[in-house]
Amino acid sequence: MSTPGPSNTAANASLPAPPLPAAGAGWALLLDVDGTLLDFADDPHAVRVDAALPALLDALHEATGGALALVSGRRLDDLDRLFRRPHQAAIGLHGSELRTATGELRHHAVAPLHQTRMQHEAQALAGRFAGVQLENKQQAVALHCRGSSGEWQQLHEAAIAVIAHLPGYELQAGRRVLEFKPGGMDKGRAVAELLQQEPFTGRLPVYAGDDLTDEHAFDAVNRAHGLSIRVGNRHPSAARFSLPDPLATIAWLARVRDALTQAAPAHVRPSEREIPHQS
């Protein structure tokens, strides 16, 4: 099982807000999507992207010289559908898919026979619980538990038993979700890989994420002496900074944009019109 954890971080929900860059600073932004840029939804297909958010990401992409990447448990084609930015760097399926800034694709694949077996076992497991919704990502399958805490615990125990007999796969736990995903890859490894590619190399890595799946990336960014930002109050965490929710994340990113481009004084809070609102 994939088990990220905090490193030398107290189980304290109180963390400082992240700093702002100096004008023209060499930052590389790596941003989780669900729960970080977008409000968390029970149904991952029900989320909506506010029209102002892609424009903000485009401005940050330009201000960082292209060193901006979305990071997600979603497939890359799902990210592209949401944000309509298939030309930009991105990490999908918790690191199993990676697209560089030049458009080069890397897939961490599993043998088709093992993938078919995983899907069969995951579907059978989901059918045992009334409160479980299955999300089929082809190479991976997520089981979203909307039932009671007791059902969640039963699902977790059953999934641990199932994953032991699925070659090439590991279990990734998240916020009320369990995912059967290809083994040997996670968000942290993918982030470290992307940081070796232009235009990310040599820049200060800044990662924002909200879930247990982001702990791998926090560890990777901390090792690179970057900024790790937890969104929400989940703890313990390896993150060293915190923002309360996606709206605050977007407001902070608007200030990062302004600071990098000197479009506005860094100490001025963005007006309401500058902050995209989630619909």
Tell me, what CATH number does 235's domain have? 3.40.50.1000
**Average confidence (pLDDT) over 195-221:** 97
Select the more confidently predicted residue: 46 or 120. 120
Residues of the domain holding 118:
112-182
Claim to verify: residue 41 and residue 162 sit in the same structural domain: no
β-bridge mates for residue 66, sequence order: none
Q: In this predicted structure, what is the pLDDT of residue 252?
A: 98
Claim to verify: residue 49 and residue 74 sit in the same structural domain: yes
The answer to whether position 202 is within a domain reads: yes
Claim to verify: residue 50 and residue 102 sit in the same structural domain: yes
- Enter the pTM of the model: 0.84
Claim to verify: residue 240 and residue 118 sit in the same structural domain: no
Claim to verify: residue 124 and residue 226 sit in the same structural domain: no
CA angle 255, 256, 261 (to 5 degrees): 100
Claim to verify: residue 243 and residue 124 sit in the same structural domain: no
The answer to whether position 11 is within a domain reads: no
Q: What's 137's domain CATH number?
A: 3.30.70.1020
Domain boundary among 133, 162, 182: 182
Domain boundary among 162, 182, 202: 182
Q: Extract the tokens encoding 14.
A: 């109180």
**Average confidence (pLDDT) over 89-118:** 94
Claim to verify: residue 120 and residue 160 sit in the same structural domain: yes
Catalytic residue among 32, 80, 210, 219: 32
Over the stretch 11-55, which tens digit does the pLDDT of each residue have? Answer: 345 899 999 999 989 999 999 999 999 997 767 777 889 989 999
Claim to verify: residue 171 and residue 200 sit in the same structural domain: no
The answer to whether position 9 is within a domain reads: no
Claim to verify: residue 101 and residue 194 sit in the same structural domain: yes
Q: In this predicted structure, what is the pLDDT of residue 110?
A: 87
For residue 151, give the 3-state DSSP assignment. helix
The answer to whether position 70 is within a domain reads: yes
Claim to verify: residue 197 and residue 149 sit in the same structural domain: no
Using CA atoms, how far residue 150 sits from 22, 131, 146, 154, 228, in Å, is: 49, 11, 11, 6, 32
The answer to whether position 161 is within a domain reads: yes
Claim to verify: residue 154 and residue 66 sit in the same structural domain: no
The answer to whether position 66 is within a domain reads: yes
Spatial separation of the C-alpha atoms in residues 165 and 176, rounded to whole Å: 23
Main-chain dihedrals φ then ψ at residue 204, nearest 5 degrees: -80, 115
Q: Is 32 a catalytic residue?
A: yes
Q: How confident is the model at residue 9 (pLDDT cuts 50, 70, 90)?
A: very low
The answer to whether position 6 is within a domain reads: no
Q: In this predicted structure, what is the pLDDT of residue 146?
A: 82
Closest CA to 194 of 154, 159, 221, 234: 221
The answer to whether position 229 is within a domain reads: yes
Over the stretch 133-191, which tens digit does the pLDDT of each residue have? Answer: 999 988 899 999 887 888 889 999 999 999 999 999 999 888 888 999 999 899 999 99
Claim to verify: residue 73 and residue 192 sit in the same structural domain: yes
Structural domains in the chain (count): 2
Select the more confidently predicted residue: 176 or 124. 124
